[in-house]
Structure 1
């Protein structure tokens, strides 16, 4: 038996194991939450994430005509996280392309959300051949959903194509998965920026750190003392005793906004707008995924390559951060970049490049790239809101 036969046998065997595991998982779920067995027929798994599994189910009383998505949260999910997602689905869902909740079941440590099921296409299947009209409808629906979410002072925190379902044949849209959602509280000065809480260090730990770093209290209290270790191979004594700064980093790699990558603690709904801009950039360039960063440093480097080093230096400075970039990098012409990326894989010798560029200009008008630039503004304070984006000339009805 040659290698190809071995490979085929291995694939069939793996598929069989997967099928058996899925059946066992469904049986286990029905045993754990008995009420499900009385109400639904569970068929197969339609999605899976780090914190949940989603199954297709039909209501028994409807003779299989009513379909639902059964989301089973892993038992180790923190109760606060479950409560937050439940509140989002109850308060926000059911309108403006936001997923709603039909039923919530709980038995012991297992929690199940029952939601309407919507058939949808996969993003790679349509990202390269969407028309201008289709892009307008898609982005308008996504931003309408985000406008509703943000009206409730909620940040979704995980905007990406797999969380925005699109039924292409019926032109239906649905924003799902609020597992990482967080409440956003505006500052009293109405700037829209949350002031991070002032950390209160442990006195014993602080004293030990001061002794180890040989820094006296009098030195620490001098407001004129500044850090001069930036860009050097060692950390100064002042920085050693500073409390560790924490910031939310939830979200999917490739869709995290600059302020998230720079660990800025006072994050706003603008991070959802950035992620929607990344989706639009993927559509205009025909590239999925557009950013392929394995870590935050690489993700920052990719953004620097796109927008230039000067703009990222300014962005970091406004956030009270500093970044080191080895050389000056000019910004990229995104319109030309998208044209080049869409021509990948085509036989350029058989193309009249002039007519090809003209067709691309007609397909994606200048207004589309203008909206993209506002969605992907690296300074979150200047980034457009969902409500403002819906009034942009490219989307305005």
Structure 2
């Protein structure tokens, strides 16, 4: 698709040597920009590429300037897709931006350039701040507005049958000063059964035709054994004992182990696996139903049904991710969950939502989750106020979140000193409410934690939808 906007050609040398507003581009960035011009030479006729502003697993994003026909100069974000991406995947992302984008806080697309296997998607550039840089400065009202606009974007894409699959602050651009928002990066998007995006339907067919995920760590039981047959060489065994020996932190400081397994549904499935710790794959493991279960997304934001490889995943996984973002904003901790694998991630969720509740929810969508000890469900208000420093922490307790990056929640670099030992807050007054906070953190309504509870519903079937969440009392007046 050729661009009609530019009236001048920018020389490549001038582009590579250009300087951004913040700092001069490094040599590696200059090299990347030069490589991009060589890969897609028609870009030089339209854009002066200024800097590299983002890099992910499947793409890199550059800041480019174009001179418009009226003489003005506009800034654009140029997303260069990694050539190894499947052509249908690239086309599906472009179609999502074209059909769904451009309104309701969803980023649109302006132009697209292609040269052989190199594709560059051109989008409007939106100046924004990283959430890690502003989380300690946000008022409660700003948090309320942020979540409202995020849910607005989710409602919009879900109406088209689009599951984003990678909802996180880095993909929801936020300009604090202008109060503007934009949902970006549909590179992992999938379609629901009734999606209106044709190419997402094609991707759904491609994914179903792919081999099952037995070569990954299968959380339905666990993985893997060597094989002496050709069939066994292609399919690793699912061994029920591996995860039971792993240890994970619990909310009360003691070790807890978590494992998931597929519930026994028939008499045939009551047979015991006999290949554990052997060099073969038994018939019980080979007879297991093949299962395709996507796990795309960013660690820390994956829903329980994703972590347990539930095959039927819908728009509810985006809502869960929105709930994790709200949990971070209310507690002042980002990232809130940080785990090295799915089992640790599931254990961390249990420390917040409870082990019994997690097991009950997993059973509802056809999974069994076992924990070595019972973990109680925590009160979300108490948790967030404790982490934000508005509630004294008991001597015998530590925050249940592990590996969180501390942030300056006060704006002063200090956490308010706890109440003297034995001194209770004024009767009828919330703990720490005597510390006035001009940003409103001493007046967070119960509705905020009620919505958080509904967004973090462990059962995707009863989890609130984005459309219903927008009607929540928390957003009255918006």
**TM-score bin, normalised by smaller chain:** 0.7 to 0.9
How do 1:238-257 residues align onto structure 2 when only pairs under 5 Å count?
238-257=284-303
Counterpart for residue 30 of structure 1? 37
Distance 1:68 1:361 in 2: 37
* Structure 1, unpaired ranges of 5+: 1-15, 188-193, 213-221
Counterpart for residue 227 of structure 1? 270
Distance 1:172 1:198 in 2: 40
Question: Normalized per residue, which structure has more helix?
Answer: 1
Distance 1:382 1:366 in 2: 21
How do 1:304-383 residues align onto structure 2 when only pairs under 5 Å count?
304-343=350-389, 345-348=414-417, 354=425, 357-358=432-433, 362-383=442-463
SS in 2 for 1:384: coil
Question: More deviation in 82-91 or 332-341?
Answer: 332-341
* Structure 2, unpaired ranges of 5+: 1-22, 196-203, 213-228, 238-264, 390-408
Structure 1 pair 330/242, CA: closer, same or farther in 2 (3 Å)?
A: same
Distance 2:233 2:78 in 1: 52
Question: More deviation in 346-355 or 67-76?
Answer: 346-355
Counterpart for residue 100 of structure 1? 108
Distance 1:373 1:185 in 2: 27
Distance 2:210 2:118 in 1: 36
2:271·2:284 contact (CA, 8 Å) conserved in 1? no
Distance 2:471 2:419 in 1: 40
SS in 1 for 2:305: helix
SS in 2 for 1:113: strand
Question: More deviation in 267-276 or 321-330?
Answer: 321-330
Please point out which of 117, 124, 131 is paired with 1:123: 131
Shift of 1:292: 0.8
Distance 1:80 1:65 in 2: 33
Please point out which of 59, 62, 66 is paired with 1:59: 66
2:337·2:348 contact (CA, 8 Å) conserved in 1? yes
Counterpart for residue 149 of structure 1? 157
TM-score, scaled relative to structure 2: 0.69
SS in 2 for 1:225: helix
Counterpart for residue 160 of structure 1? 168
Shift of 1:356: 5.8
Counterpart for residue 295 of structure 1? 341
TM-score, scaled relative to structure 1: 0.83
Shift of 1:186: 5.0
Q: Which runs of 4+ in 1 moved over 6 A?
A: 196-201, 204-209, 232-236, 350-353
Structure 1 pair 31/186, CA: closer, same or farther in 2 (3 Å)?
A: closer
Distance 1:341 1:111 in 2: 44
1:140·1:395 contact (CA, 8 Å) conserved in 2? yes
2:139·2:441 contact (CA, 8 Å) conserved in 1? no
**How many residues of Structure 1 are paired with residues of Structure 2 in the alignment?**
361
Shift of 1:84: 0.9
Structure 1 residue 40 and structure 2 residue 47: aligned?
yes
